[in-house]
Amino acid sequence: MNGSPAHHNLFFYGDDGSLVDQVVPFLSEGLANHEAVVIVLDPRKTALVRDALGRIGRRVASIDRDGYYTRPEDALAGYDAQVRRYLKDGAPRVRVFGELPLCRTNEDSDTWILYEALLNPAFAHHPVTIVCGLDGREQPDRVVEGSWRTHPTAAPTPCGAARSPPARRAWGLGGRDRLSRAAATSSGLLAGSSPTGRTAIATALRSRRCATTARASTICARRLAACSPGRRPTKTSRPTSAPSSSASMSGGGEASPRTGSN
Amino acid sequence: MTTTAGAIAIRPGEHACFRFQRQEERERIADAFMCVGLRLGHRVVYLCESRDVDATLLRLTAAEPDVASALRTGALEVRDANTVYLDGRSFDVERMIAALRAEHRRALADGFAGLSVTGDVVSALGAAEAEALVEYERRLDEEFGDATQVLLCQYDQHRFETGTLVEMTEAHHVEVSPPLATLDPTGALAAARVHPPETLRLAGDLDFENVAGLLDYLDANVHGPLRVDLADVAFADVAGMRALRGSRHQQLTIADASEPVRRLVGLLGWDTDPGVLVAA
């Protein structure tokens, strides 16, 4: 069981044209595979993407970014519930293109980068493909830099396979040094791949949140700890199905008492 | 077995489609469709691009022993899609539907039990606008429901915009795209996606020899309750039935079942299992 889904990708862009060019094929491919397809964007970009999708645009569900991303815990729980609902309704997979809310302060940036890190273990056992859009025009450097660390694969084409470091470089705004720094620190915290990493996430969240939030983060960390000890993230691995561990992560839900195989 | 074609989960009266990426997939599914049509006593019209007519004839004659006699009796016609559909003129939904109706009448007049048509849509209607194609498929789905006709449309995935493919597929209520129709390498078991409601239909032999592909498919695609239609399952064993619960033991609804399946449902105790719902 891998701690980081190969399907949590980053798409970095700087203008509306490339957003539409890359995201429309990604979303329509999902529709063609009968997947549940969701966008989490601000109203302007939602309209832009829907228009570009044409007549199939209405098949894409949209969530308002700013209403959804209030707190990381909330967003994670919301995503989890939503994904389970889609799968229960028969979707073979869930495909998401989403963007973080605007981060105006350093604290905001750190909070949402931690959220991105949490997404990796949280969705490791769900059949999801998440591409996070990162608009270079909107987000501060701190978010850009953190995003490189929190996404197992960063790609100019969201639907493409894992990209090699040269491709990542080609898409980095800040050039080589920023990326190599990101790569150097990308092991521990990012995927919650070690117990220390998980504790660090919880501690970091706790330190900047009120008591209620801290409790939620502890629960969150405990649930993450419940998933099997993670191995090093590898680029080729795919999230595998593991009913027992994914059920325990969500605190029950669809846990089945019988998991015998045929 | 001398034939390469196996089961196909399409029923008389249906308008089905499949999307393919590789030529082998396409041939396998179309050939299975042809064999089933011939077994039903239908006239089978196999449409392809004009340059492929001869190659298709050769391939079919070599692969299927019955093909040569079917060609002689007129039970099988391999034809250039363009002449059938377009006849040198531009694409028109009404004229196409009229052409299909005429084919159907002709098959019945010639003494066949019905008409089975399969063809690569793009080779026939290459010049048409995507929107007109979608309209055509929707009309076909509404107009054709007679048990003496079966239509199987083929879509080359490389030749359509993804958005168009989505709409085209939705216009057919039965889809047999790979890996559905090709679940089992020997062709003994085949599947179709039928909607609404979203149902997995199986046809052929559901037994320990053939379930590997089904298990993989369920693992990758089904994460919630599963609704299956097993009316076309000719043979089933316990391993085959248990495969339907998948590795997750999901809630199973059996919408319809053949006699062998019903017997096993009783033997397995599924009729009293809360995890299985068997429709009457």
Q: Are residues A32 and B248, on separate chains, in Cβ contact within 8 Å?
A: no
Mean pLDDT computed over B169-189:
93
**Residue B136, domain extent:** 15-175
Domain end point (choices B175, B200, B219): B175
φ, ψ of residue A213 in degrees (nearest 5): -60, -40
Contacts of A53 in chain B (CB under 8 A): 163
Q: Is A243 on the interface with B (CB under 8 A)?
A: yes
What's the sign of the alpha-carbon dihedral A163, A164, A165, A166?
Answer: negative
Q: Which residue has the higher pLDDT, A190 or B149?
A: B149
Q: Which residue has the higher pLDDT, B52 or A143?
A: A143
Mean pLDDT by 10 residues, chain A (262 residues): 63 94 94 95 96 93 91 92 92 95 93 93 91 93 91 58 36 36 34 42 47 43 46 41 37 38 40
Q: What is the residue-averaged pLDDT of chain B?
A: 89
**CB neighbours of B59 closer than 8 A, spacing ≥ 6?**
B27
* DSSP for residue A262: -
**Chain B interface test: which of A34, A53, A60, A84 (most B C-beta within 10 Å):** A34
Q: Which of B219, B224, B242 sits opposite A90 (nearest CB)?
A: B224
Rounded Cα distance between B52 and A157, Å, is 36
Contacts of B208 in chain A (CB under 8 A): none
Residue A172's CATH number: 3.40.50
Same domain, B129 and B202: no
Same domain, B140 and B224: no
Same domain, B155 and B263: no
Task: Find the residue in B nearest to A52 (Cα).
Answer: B163
pLDDT for position B164:
86
Query: Is A34:A23 a contact under the CB 8 Å cutoff?
Result: no
pLDDT for position A208:
45
pLDDT band (50, 70, 90) for residue B81? confident
**Residue A190, domain extent:** 8-230
How far out from the chain centre does Cα B264 lie?
26
**CB neighbours of B231 closer than 8 A, spacing ≥ 6?**
B201, B256, B257, B258
Residue B241's CATH number: 3.30.750.24
Global ipTM? 0.82
pTM of the entire predicted model = 0.76
Mean pLDDT computed over B74-96:
81
| Cis-peptide into B196, omega within 30 deg | yes
Q: How many domains does chain B have?
A: 2
pLDDT band (50, 70, 90) for residue B17? very high
Q: Is A55 on the interface with B (CB under 8 A)?
A: yes
Of A186-200, B138-152, B200-214, the least confident:
A186-200
Same domain, B156 and B196: no
Q: Are residues A56 and B167, on separate chains, in Cβ contact within 8 Å?
A: yes
pLDDT band (50, 70, 90) for residue B125? low
Q: Are residues A92 and B220, on separate chains, in Cβ contact within 8 Å?
A: yes
Rounded Cα distance between A228 and A147, Å, is 25
Closest by CA position to A132, among listed A6, A9, A39: A9
Q: Are residues B223 and A88, on separate chains, in Cβ contact within 8 Å?
A: yes
> How far does A62 lie from chain B, in Å, by closest CA?
18
Residue B1 clears pLDDT 90, i.e. is over it:
no
Torsion of CA A16, A22, A23, A26, to 10 degrees: 170
Q: Is B6 inside any structural domain?
A: no
Q: Is A106 on the interface with B (CB under 8 A)?
A: no
Torsion of CA B205, B211, B217, B222, to 10 degrees: 90
Q: Is B140 inside any structural domain?
A: yes
Rounded Cα distance between A160 and A118, Å, is 23
Residue B178 clears pLDDT 60, i.e. is over it:
yes
Q: Is B201 inside any structural domain?
A: yes
Q: Is A176 inside any structural domain?
A: yes
φ, ψ of residue A34 in degrees (nearest 5): 65, 25
pLDDT for position B160:
85
Q: Which of A29, A92, A262 sits opposite B221 (nearest CB)?
A: A92
Q: Are residues A28 and B166, on separate chains, in Cβ contact within 8 Å?
A: yes
Domain end point (choices B175, B199, B227): B175
Q: How many domains does chain A have?
A: 1
Rounded Cα distance between A160 and B274, Å, is 42
Q: Is A168 inside any structural domain?
A: yes
Q: Which of A55, A90, A262 sits opposite B198 (nearest CB)?
A: A90
